[in-house]
Copies of this chain bind each other. A is one copy, B any other.
Amino acid sequence: MKIGILGYGNLGRGVEYAISQNPDMELVAVFTRRNPSDLKINSNAKVVSLNDIEQWQGKIDVLILCGGSATDLPVQTPKYAEMFNVVDSYDNHKQIPTHFENVDNAAKEGNHLALISTGWDPGLFSLNRLYANAILPEGKDYTFWGKGISQGHSDAIRRIEGVKNAKQYTIPVEEALETVRKGENPTFTARQMHTRECFVVVEEGADKARIEQEIKTMPNYFEPYDTTVHFISEEELNEKHGGIPHGGFVIRTGKTAGNKNHVIEYSLKLDSNPEFTSSVLVAYARAIYRLSKEGETGCKTVFDIAPKYLSSKTDEELRKTML
Interface residues of A (CB under 8 A from B): 13-14, 17-18, 21-22, 93, 96-97, 100, 117, 122, 124, 126-131, 133-138, 181, 247, 256-257, 260-272, 275-276, 278-280, 283, 286, 301-308, 310-312, 315-316, 318-320, 322-323
Contacts and interface: CB of A to CB of B under 8 A. Distances in A.
Contact of A305 (B17, B283, B306): B306
A289 to B, nearest CB: 13
Contact of A311 (B134, B278, B286, B311): B134
Nearest to A265: B267
A98 to B, nearest CB: 10
Given A131-B310, A135-B279, A319 B271 contact: no
Tallying the copies of this chain within the complex gives: 2
28 contacts: A13-B257, A14-B257, A21-B137, A22-B137, A93-B323, A97-B320, A124-B131, A126-B323, A130-B307, A131-B307, A131-B310, A134-B286, A134-B307, A135-B279, A135-B283, A247-B263, A256-B275, A256-B276, A260-B275, A261-B271, A263-B267, A263-B268, A264-B267, A301-B318, A301-B319, A304-B306, A304-B307, A306-B306
Contacts of A127: 131, 307
A135 B280 contact: yes
Contacts of A268: 262-265
B271 A260 contact: yes
Contacts of A129: 322
Contact of A303 (B14, B257, B275, B318): B318
Contact of A96 (B133, B283, B307, B323): B323
A320 B256 contact: no
Given A22-B137, A130-B307, A262-B275, 18 more contacts: A14-B257, A21-B256, A127-B307, A130-B308, A130-B322, A131-B310, A256-B278, A257-B272, A260-B271, A263-B268, A263-B270, A264-B267, A303-B308, A303-B315, A303-B318, A303-B323, A304-B307, A307-B307
Nearest to A266: B266
B318 A130 contact: yes
A303 B306 contact: yes
A182 to B, nearest CB: 10
A256 B14 contact: yes
A122 B320 CA distance: 11
Nearest to A320: B97
A319 B100 contact: yes
Q: Which 5 A-B pairs have the closest CB atoms?
A: A134-B310, A260-B271, A256-B275, A17-B257, A263-B269
A17 B256 contact: yes
Nearest to A303: B308
Contact of A97 (B136, B303, B316): B316
A252 to B, nearest CB: 11
